[in-house]
Amino acid sequence: MYGKSPSRAGLLLLGIQLTALWPIAAVEIYTSQALEAVNGTDVRLKCTFSSFAPVGDALTVTWNFRPRDGGPEQFVFYYHVDPFKPMSGRFKDRVVWDGNPERYDVSIILWKLQFDDNGTYTCQVKNPPDVDGLIGEIRLSVVHTVRFSEIYFLALAIGSACALMVIIVIVVVLVQHFRKKRWAERAHKVVEIKPKEEERLNQEKKVSIYLEDTD
């Protein structure tokens, strides 16, 4: 007799168990979240990702923009095998691809910043079968001059302290060097004076003996 075929309930249970063991197909997005840049300069909007699925030709990247003062979302950039720049709108001829999908980098560069570029830039990556996941966001602030952060001042203080320590060490080494040089010169002079002094004493002794003999 042939064995009984597995029931539908058994197959369903097996499918649920396999699904539980399989990793969740979701793309993780990483961005700087907040960024400051000076008006008129270029800025790199960095966006990287991680995915369980291998990166292939099915990968798609979509960049959009939401103005800070409100308004509809605007298209910035699209990538699918090749980069596709916007043919019209505010970002025409102002955005270029600067990513490398093989390194999980889907960044772009925005040229010639303007004050109305203030807003939120979104980075969405789909890498089938990984198509779910949160969308990365970068809040860009275009300013006249970049404000220095506390980290900058801390780095400046540490750098200044290190430079001061190096200068002190150099001064100490130079002082010790000149002291040793001066001591060596003095010792050399003493060595030179001693034979001359002995010669003078010998001459005086000879003269004294000669005078005694003549008496």
82 and 135 in one domain?
A: yes
Which structural domain, as residue segments, surrounds residue 65? 23-147
Q: Are 157 and 118 part of one and the same domain?
A: no
**In this predicted model, which residue has the larger pLDDT, 152 or 58?**
58
CA 44/CA 97 separation, integer angstroms: 10
**Which pLDDT value is given to residue 8?**
56
**Which has the closest alpha carbon to 47: 59, 74, 29?**
29
C-alpha span between 50 and 168 (Å, rounded): 48
- What pLDDT digit, counting tens, does each position of 1-51 carry? 444 444 555 544 544 444 444 455 689 999 988 999 999 999 999 999 999
User: Looking at residue 126, what DSSP letter applies?
Assistant: E
Q: Is residue 197 part of a domain?
A: yes
Cα 138–Cα 140–Cα 146 angle in degrees, nearest 5: 130
User: Do 43 and 106 sit in the same domain of this protein?
Assistant: yes
pLDDT band per the 50, 70, 90 thresholds, residue 160: confident
CATH of the domain at 113: 2.60.40.10
Taking the complete model, does pTM exceed 0.75, yes or no?
A: no
Does the pLDDT value for residue 163 go beyond 70? yes
Q: Is residue 37 located within the same domain as residue 129?
A: yes
The per-residue pLDDT for 179 is 85
Do residues 141 and 57 both lie within one domain? yes
Same domain as 154, residue 100: no
Q: How many domains does the chain have?
A: 2
